[in-house]
Amino acid sequence: MNFNNLYRLPDEGYVAGVCAGLAHRFEWNAWVLRAACLFVLYFFAKFAALAYILASIFLKKRYKSDFSGRQTESALGNLQEEFSALRERLRQ
């Protein structure tokens, strides 16, 4: 698993933004993820607390402003280039 794609959103979260960041990254509902974390915390308190603390330390902070339209435009441009290259390869 590539952990470079994981981040936390402190401005969207309640404690450190770990659940908010993971929910945003995987396109999940943040409340469902928070409920699952509370469930795990209830049954595995030490493990869950340690995992959350480590995640809040090691995950990069991101903010909603980091997700601007420029990233979408860049991704769209890259996708168009990929399809153009694929068309050229298929024509040969």
87 and 44 assigned to the same domain: no
| 49 and 28 co-located in one domain | yes
Say whether both 19 and 50 belong to one domain: yes
Q: What is the pLDDT of residue 16?
A: 85
Residues 13 and 50 in one domain: yes
* Domain span at 80: 67-92
Q: Identify whether residues 7 and 51 lie together within a single domain.
A: yes
| Shared-domain flag, residues 10 and 29 | yes
Kindly report, residue by residue over 26-67, the tens digit of the pLDDT: 888 888 988 998 899 899 999 888 988 888 888 888 776 666
Tell me, what's the pLDDT at 3? 59
Could you give the number of structural domains in the chain?
2
Same domain, 77 and 55: no
3-state helix, strand and coil shares in percent for the chain, rounded to the nearest 5: 70, 5, 25
Are 14 and 48 members of one domain?
Answer: yes
Please indicate, yes or no, whether residues 53 and 85 belong to a single structural domain of this protein.
no
Is the pTM above the cut of 0.85? Answer: no
Q: Evaluate if residue 4 carries a pLDDT over 70.
A: no
Q: pLDDT of 61-90, one tens digit each? A: 877 666 655 555 666 677 788 888 888 888
User: Could you report how far apart the first and last alpha carbons of the chain are, in Å?
Assistant: 36
